[in-house]
Structure 1
């Protein structure tokens, strides 16, 4: 099973069935906070919904379509960071993430995204990594900006969020740029 130590307090591990209760609890506690920018929290109503997500995530990993990892902070489930999709022909991975509200402000997400980028560029041999974020989600936009991503453009009305459409900004990092930064 995939695990990766980020620092003394933070590690990543491939999501599995044993994480269902903790992920559901984190989602439930952070539901109002998360649904400001994410459409899926309203569909996670019971732990079985989380189990379905985990089952699908595990199958997608086996099929080489995505890689969902749990963020552990001091051995507690703090969130999820993932390669939501891979385009193996063009060698592009798209990163997505969420962090429970109580874990904000510790620099966790910047560290785990940096770690996932390193894995993507070195182990998966990706040429490009993208992050797409709602244009008005300034907190989440700070992650790719801190890490030196290039803002590549705006996708207009790309996400339906309950009662309105949301634009996304696309950030990209090329492997050569990553190597130059590190």
Structure 2
């Protein structure tokens, strides 16, 4: 299993669908009200089988080098996921997506995970630019991007279709030489 150790508390790991589906689904269930506000896939994640299917698919994408989805492990327990959603070869860029179980917020987990993904992206995936897209009214996600040193490029109107309709989105970027 691929594991990237961030520090004594935190690591990123490739998913093991049959092992990780149950605990990840339980985290989604317990955090559903918070996650569903910002993540359009949450209502479709209805069972452990759905989670296992998703994890199997992301491993296929990893094998095809089209995306990288990793489990965030805090004290060796799954607490969320972080990903390079896709790689754009033409401009050597990628976009980070992430979610964290509600009960683990406030522990600086996502900030450290984002910085680790930036290191991986620039060192191992030959990207020049990493983006984070966050709804303007999602303070936690915008704070993660800002704290990690991303530059706010601007706001894109009606760029995110969420549970309650379209939201404006902030585009945050970090370049390899920053």
TM-score category of the 2 structures, normalised to the smaller one: over 0.9
1:22-33 superposed matches below 5 A: 22-33=23-34
The Cα of 1:50 is off from its aligned counterpart by 0.6
Provide the residue aligned with 2:167 in structure 1: 166
CA distance in structure 1 between the aligned counterparts of 2:41 and 2:116, rounded to whole angstroms: 25
The Cα of 1:80 is off from its aligned counterpart by 0.3
Which ranges of 4 or more aligned residues in structure 1 deviate by more than 3 Å? none
Provide the residue aligned with 1:136 in structure 2: 137
The Cα of 1:89 is off from its aligned counterpart by 2.4
The Cα of 1:2 is off from its aligned counterpart by 2.1
1:35-114 superposed matches below 5 A: 35-114=36-115
Segments of 5+ residues of structure 2 without an aligned counterpart are none
Segments of 5+ residues of structure 1 without an aligned counterpart are 178-182
2:94–2:127 CA contact under 8 A, matched in 1: yes
CA distance in structure 2 between the aligned counterparts of 1:107 and 1:161, rounded to whole angstroms: 25
Deviations, residues 140-175 of structure 1 (Å, cap 9, x unaligned): 101110121111122211222223111111001110
The Cα of 1:3 is off from its aligned counterpart by 0.9
TM-score, structure 1 as length reference: 0.94
CA distance in structure 2 between the aligned counterparts of 1:140 and 1:162, rounded to whole angstroms: 17
Deviations, residues 60-103 of structure 1 (Å, cap 9, x unaligned): 11111100000000111100011111112221011010100010
Equivalenced residues, count: 177
CA distance in structure 2 between the aligned counterparts of 1:41 and 1:136, rounded to whole angstroms: 18
2:38–2:163 CA contact under 8 A, matched in 1: no
The Cα of 1:59 is off from its aligned counterpart by 1.0
Provide the residue aligned with 2:6 in structure 1: 6
CA distance in structure 1 between the aligned counterparts of 2:166 and 2:63, rounded to whole angstroms: 33
Provide the residue aligned with 2:22 in structure 1: 21
CA distance in structure 2 between the aligned counterparts of 1:14 and 1:54, rounded to whole angstroms: 9
RMSD: 1.0
TM-score, structure 2 as length reference: 0.96
Deviations, residues 6-49 of structure 1 (Å, cap 9, x unaligned): 11010000122121111111101110111111111111111111
